[in-house]
Structure 1
Amino acid sequence: MFKLFSDWYTRKFSDPHAVTLVVILICIALFIALFSSLLMPVFVAISLAFLLDLPVNKLMHSSMSRLSATIVVIVAFIGFALLAVLGLMPIIWTQSSNLLQEVPNMITQGQVYLLTLPEKYPELVHESQIESFIVMVNDNLLEWGQVALKASLNSISDIVALMVYLILVPLMMFFFLKDKIELMNSVAYFLPKERRMAKKVSKEMNQQILNYIRGKVIEIIIVGTATTIAFMFLDLQYALLLGVLVGLSVLVPYVGATVVTFPVMLVALFQFGFGSEFGYVMLAYGIIQAIDGNVIVPLLFSEAVNLHPVVIIIAVIFFGGLWGFWGVFFAIPLATLVKAVINAWPSVPETDETNEAPEL
């Protein structure tokens, strides 16, 4: 048993560069796991600075200094963010409040409709089954209401955290972009010299993550805008709110589209009933999802490493459970990182003892 483990260790860890890569990955994972709640503004700033590094480099190629390019990009980013927040948030907030006020009416209508099912289909549905289902739904709604109340009581601390984000994140983004080279050299000073594999994986993942973040931002904008326009054209209530939800659902592949289908379907159902308008809404939603999955995603992520859908779902569950929203957002790049490390890992081929015997 010991020899078996020793042979495996020799094959996989004989290269000191491989050991260095393992140590670096373990240290980064432990650091994020232990200090993610404290340093979340830093991680957010690093992610946004990583995304904005491309336009900074583009401006530098047009004979601008890094300081000037950083100032232009940061000002443009803050201006766009303020325009989006001030323009969209009031409408989204109003539609969210109106939808929450409509929820009791929707529940009442749903219960009335369910109570008519035993009369329409007495052979399939019994009144006791409907009553049990209504009791279960009411109990779940009571639990959700308690959760919402607790969340509202914690809103003051959330507002304070948001104010910290609004001040610290742009400031850190500016310094991360302006002093990128100096900061990277400072980090490299503490790393071992035997890091050839780490450099190889880092170079590959740098491009992969950049393509992924850029592609996801573009996908969210395209899908959210197209959905909002389609719902407004079909005169669906809460079109902007539902469009934003559909746009954000692309962050979680497969699962997000499935989950967000329910609010779209319920709003259309209670507004139009089982009619042609309801069919048009669901048809438009299905067309947008089909275009996203078969046209937009292949175009935007053609350079990304192919991953099996099962691997993507497992990555979303695992990293989302570890790091919440950002774990879900970076689930695919992290899964790609694992695949890149496995592919780049050196391995000494096993020796066949029968071939080692001297020929007679």
Structure 2
Amino acid sequence: MFEYVRSWYQRKFSDPHSVTLLLLLVAAFAILYFFGNLLMPALVAVVVAYLLDWPVARLQRLGLSRLLATVVVMALFCSLVIGSLFGIGPVLWQQTSNLVQEAPTMLEQGKHYLLHLPIDYPTLISPEQVRSVVSSVESKAVELGQTLVSFSLTSLKDMAAWLIYLILVPLLIFFMLKDKAQLVQSMSSLLPKQRRLIHQVWIEMNQQIMNYIRGKVFEIVIVGGVSFVVFTIFDLRYAALLGVLVGFSVLIPFIGAALVTIPVAAVALFQFGLGSEFWSVLVAYGIIQALDGNVLVPLLFSEAVDLNPVFIIVAVLFFGGLWGFWGVFFAIPLASLVRALINAWSSSADEPHQSMPKALVEEMNND
């Protein structure tokens, strides 16, 4: 066993390029793990800069300078964010407040349905089982209320930090877009000369991350907008709030759709009862999720996502546990990064490009 491990180590890490890639990976992981909270504004700015780099590049192709293209895109982006904040924000706040006020009534109605299940189906469900479920739901509701109160108090305390972020993040985004070439060159100059595998992984991941962020934003907007329109057609209460929840649920692959089903079903049940309208809302919601998973996701992420669902779920659980929201958001790119690292270490020192796609080999050779 020891000989096998030693031979594997010598085979994979005898190349200085492999050692450099490993050290860079360990350093990046340590920085994100220990200083991620401090670097959060910069990380958010990197994500948005990846999103906005595409329109900036398109404007450059039309003849605009990098500076002018950056100014135009940043102006449009800030206008869109401010318009959405003042246009949709008050509606979402009002619907959230109304939903919180009606939550106890909705819980009581749900409790009423559960308590009548043993009467309607005495051979399938016992009163003890129903009482156990009701007790568990009530305890979870109390915990959720305490969490929301604690979160609101923490948010008030961190209001100054949020105000600072509102100033720092746009500035960071602007300079990241304007000085992209200089920043990349500066980062490259800090790396050692033995960086062939780093270059290989960077080429493979750079375009994937850009496509993923852009595709995920489009998916949120499309799924959330379609859900809002469908809920409005059915005259479902809190249509805007539920549409936003459904839109953001796509950030968590597979799991998000299941979680957001609970508030959609609860609101529909509270409003319509167990009538045909309730089932119509659930069927329409199921169709939206089916079209998202089978049509929209393959269309948007055909080049960015090529992973088995098992690996995606494991990545969501693992990276979400490490870095919370951003770990979940980047679960698929991080899983792709792991695959790229395995491909890089699998390539031998004598044949460095044998496991790389042809396009990547040509780009590296051109560089």
Partner of 1:23: 23
Partner of 1:293: 293
Alignment of 1:1-360 (within 5 A): 2-345=2-345, 346-347=347-348
CA distance in 1, matches of 2:312, 2:334: 10
The range that moved more, 176-185 or 31-40, is 176-185
Structure 1 gaps, min length 5:
350-360
CA distance in 1, matches of 2:113, 2:279: 19
Paired residues of 2:236 and 2:268 also in contact (CA < 8 A): yes
Q: Larger relative CO (CA 8 A, sep 6+): 1 or 2?
A: 1
Q: After superposition, give the CA deviation of every residue in 1:162-193 in whole Å (9 maximum; x if it has no partner).
A: 21221110011111111112222221222101
TM-aligned CA distance change 1:13 to 1:129, over 3 Å = closer
Paired residues of 1:10 and 1:348 also in contact (CA < 8 A): no
Q: After superposition, give the CA deviation of every residue in 1:245-277 in whole Å (9 maximum; x if it has no partner).
A: 111111111000111111111111111111110
1:253 alignment partner AA? P
Paired residues of 1:49 and 1:177 also in contact (CA < 8 A): yes
CA distance in 1, matches of 2:179, 2:73: 14
CA distance in 1, matches of 2:133, 2:310: 33
Instruction: Give 3-state SS (helix, strand or coil) of 2:193's partner.
Output: coil
Give the Å deviation of 1:161: 2.4
The range that moved more, 204-213 or 7-16, is 7-16
Give the Å deviation of 1:279: 1.4
CA distance in 1, matches of 2:137, 2:292: 33
Paired residues of 2:50 and 2:213 also in contact (CA < 8 A): no
Instruction: Give 3-state SS (helix, strand or coil) of 2:282's partner.
Output: helix
Normalising by structure 1, report the TM-score. 0.93
TM-aligned CA distance change 1:4 to 1:73, over 3 Å = same
Aligned-residue Cα RMSD (Å) equals 1.6
Q: After superposition, give the CA deviation of every residue in 1:273-316 in whole Å (9 maximum; x if it has no partner).
A: 11110111111111111111111111111112411111000101
Paired residues of 2:315 and 2:335 also in contact (CA < 8 A): yes
Give the Å deviation of 1:348: 7.2
CA distance in 2, matches of 1:122, 1:317: 39
